[in-house]
Amino acid sequence: MLNPALHLNPKLFDADAEQRPTRDGYGDGLVAAGDADQNVVALCADLTESTRTEAFAKKFPGRFFELGVAEQNMATVAAGLGISGKIPFIASYATFSPGRNWEQIRTTIAYNDSNVKIAGHHAGISVGPDGATHQATEDIAIMRTMPNMKVFVPCDAIEARKATEAAAHIWGPVYLRFQREKTPVMTTTETPYAPGKAEIFWIPSAGIKKPEVSIIVCGAITYNALAAARELEKEKIGVIVLNCHTIKPLDERKIIECVKKTGAVVTVEEHQIAGGLGGAVAETLAKYHPVPMEFVGMRDGFGESGQPAQLLEKYNMDVKSIVIAVKKAIKRK
Amino acid sequence: MEPLTEKKLKSLEFMANRLREDVIAMVSRAGSGHIAGPLGMADVFAAFYFHILKHDPKHPAWPERDRLILSNGHICPVQYAVLAHAGYFPVEELRTLRRLGTRLQGHPHRGALPGIETTSGPLGSGIAQSIGIALAAKLDAKKWQTYCLTSDGEHEEGNTWEAVMFAGKNRLNNLTVVIDRNNIQIDGFTENVMPLEPLREKYESFNWHVLEIDGHSFEQIIAAAAEARAIYEKPTAIIAHTIAGKGVDFMEKDYLWHSKTFKPGEAEHALKELRTLGGKIKSEHE
């Protein structure tokens, strides 16, 4: 059952549950951050509408900079602003930023300790028809290996707004990952959110004896993990679903606490299984508490054009694939 | 900016020569690092830190200071030397270049050493960072000037031209870029590796004000910086024609000295030549 302590959306599984893309939360959070602090500035590289930078640009035209199709320049100009008292947010699709401009981010933002927030949009395979060129599935890995960088992957539009506002308050470089498609809104404004603090969204219902697997998940695919938990409960299999919205710094304590209870773990992400959330969790567990582990994510391949649901099914990230992974993890105990 | 008197001119010449001596001693002691570029830019650095810049070495973070950003970080030995002589840190510390635990990293790092405004080394990102700094000044209605010292070779980087385009569009008149036009890079002469000419016209077509000067003439360096501050409508690019390896006969204009280091005896020869200003004066060290 949904963790009653977290004020999650009670209508989450209803057919008419509210759906919004996480990028909308970026747009809301950016305006709120701009209202709260006049040093917040926004930069965009010819994707102002689709990265939801538009509302900020309209409200604060003097604090918005259009860079044109030049992601490397966007990162480096932001680096200069960020060491001069400003709090720049830069936005593009994640394959271009932090993809194309990774070295500029490494040298002039991370190593330089410039107060820049990098918003990578259209992450994951659920970008859909645009195809593999626009589906970022490596961005968590390339950003979490960078010293001095924090990595936030919000699960819905409300959490995305909170993550964006939080990033403005934290000193130093932050990578924020957003997604294109409308996805169910799982949290509410009442749901607790703090960077670096993972939250247990699902716990076994009263009739189920004890959780057998910890499903650790990030991003909009958290909905699939919750749907899988519901399916499993029909078969009397209890699980924990941990929304791990901060990949770095990783909430190691909460992860170990959950895994000690379950003795097996499944990670779920719209990202390569190498180097992403699964990699981060595996590093922690290998060190402190090794248990059987299964990975749901992209298996060293590129995506393709298609509808988001079709792609998640084809590439084994749908509800059914998570259910299978959980059963496999239990068998390996 | 104060007027350039005969006395001041002499002191700048001596300072530039001292910087060249330091560069040779530092790089030969370190056993690696670049020499020709730093020697070629010694006059420009002396002019900036001892005449043009509004700065306070005792208060490196003074908010009203002019910002000088070094884009081609590999010539940092000359910046380290000028910062030390200006009073940012003790001159003796120059001996630690590239040693474990030093504040004088192989390429400059912001926060490691007072006076270093930004991290650089990977080429082509200095003008863009300077733009960010200049934009911040505009947003805060500050009067300080942002200067970016760049190399000619790094104009082969795409990021450089993305930045040049953006500064032209935004009429960043508080930004001045100085291009070290020494015509050499690691693989050879720039015009053979990847032709940059016509460089002046390239900048002009991106809506910049362009000046071309002799990068070894203090009068011209200082006059160009003054003109750049006076230009209201556009950012200014100063193409400073310099001689790589300036001051050392066997290094001048030889691209191989872009990144090679001294063989035994070469550093001593170079130092002797510098101490006599090419035979013009008697060395104090003999």
Tell whether B282 is covered by a domain: no
Say how many CA atoms lie within 13 Å of B156 toward its Cβ. 15
Active-site residues of A: which are they?
A: 71
Domain count, chain B: 1
Q: Which residue has the higher pLDDT, B186 or A5?
A: A5
Domain A19-184 matches domain A196-331 at the CATH topology level:
yes
- Under 8 Å CB-to-CB from B210, ≥6 apart: which residues? B200, B203, B204, B236, B237, B238, B239
Q: Which CATH class is domain A196-331?
A: alpha beta
- Binary contact (B162, A84; C-beta < 8 A): no
- Which pLDDT value is given to residue B279? 53
- Which pLDDT value is given to residue B271? 81
Residue numbers in B near A43 (CB within 8 A): none
- Tell me how many degrees the CA angle B36-B39-B44 measures, rounded to the nearest 5: 130
- Nearest-by-Cβ selection for A81 from B119, B136, B165: B136
> Using an 8 Å Cβ cutoff, are A177 and A153 in contact?
yes
Tell me the percentage of chain B whose pLDDT exceeds 90: 80
| The amino acid at B11 | S
- Nearest-by-Cβ selection for A76 from B109, B134, B159: B159
A188 inside 8 A of chain B by CB = no
HEC string of A23-88?
Answer: HHHHHHHHHHHHHHCCCEEEEECCCCCCCCCHHHHHHCHHHEEECCCCHHHHHHHHHHHHCCCCEE
For the segment A51-67, the average pLDDT, to the nearest whole number, is 98
- Which pLDDT value is given to residue B278? 53
Nearest CA distance, A251 vs chain B (angstrom)? 29
- Smallest Cα–Cα separation from B37: which of B146, B152, B126? B152
CATH architecture for residues A19-184: 3-Layer(aba) Sandwich (3.40)
- Nearest-by-Cβ selection for B130 from A80, A88, A104: A80
Maximum distance among all Cα pairs of chain A, rounded to whole angstroms: 59
For the segment A208-230, the average pLDDT, to the nearest whole number, is 97
Tell whether the model's pLDDT for residue A45 goes beyond 90: yes
Distance CA B265, CA B267 (A): 6
Tell whether B281 is covered by a domain: no
- Which pLDDT value is given to residue B252? 84
Write out the DSSP string of B2-41.
Answer: ----HHHHHHHHHHHHHHHHHHHHHHHHHS-S--HHHHHT
pTM over 0.90: yes
For the segment B124-132, the average pLDDT, to the nearest whole number, is 97
Q: Give the domain ranges of chain A.
A: 19-184, 196-331
Distance CA A58, CA A42 (A): 11
For the segment A26-35, the average pLDDT, to the nearest whole number, is 98
Burial A249-260 (b: 16+ CB within 10 A, else e): ebbbebbbbbbe
**Which domain does B188 fall in, by range?**
6-275
Tell whether B43 is covered by a domain: yes
**What CATH number is given to the structural domain containing B173?**
3.40.50.970
ipTM for the complex? 0.93
Tell whether the model's pLDDT for residue B280 goes beyond 60: no
